[in-house]
Amino acid sequence: MIKCDKKFENLEEELVNLPEVLKNSLQKEILTIKQLNKNGEKFAYVSKNISDLTDAEYVIFSAYMNRDYHDSESFIFIDSTGRQVCTLSGRDTDLYDMIKKCDKLVETHSHEF
């Protein structure tokens, strides 16, 4: 069986300024991307302390990081075009109640041969 290794059909169109290494890592599911829930209380609280987050729309992080290493994990926050806004570690924040599925990214239907 051969699987299509492109997770999102429209990643490059939506996030035109996203660096190639992040595009490739997302398409191969090494990293994952989630949309920020900017209407939530937690986002409002965190963005008061970290003003760079107000421009962020998405967060990219490891799909496979073990919870035991959460403090060492890096979260890459990007704007709506893919430009990096800031990077935070798990020591600085956690994403619980701050993320949701991406509305604008269309997942490729898996084609197996």
Indicate the domain borders of the chain: 11-100
The string of pLDDT tens digits covering residues 61-72 is 997 887 787 788
Q: 93: left (phi > 0), else alpha (psi -120 to 50), else beta? A: beta
The string of pLDDT tens digits covering residues 79-107 is 999 999 999 988 888 888 899 999 999 99
Determine whether 108 is exposed, middle or buried from the number of CB atoms within 10 Å of its CB (0-12, 13-18, 19+). middle
The string of pLDDT tens digits covering residues 17-41 is 999 999 999 999 999 999 999 998 8
Beta strands across the sheet bearing 74-78 = 84-89, 74-78, 58-62, 31-36, 99-100
First to last CA, the chain: 5
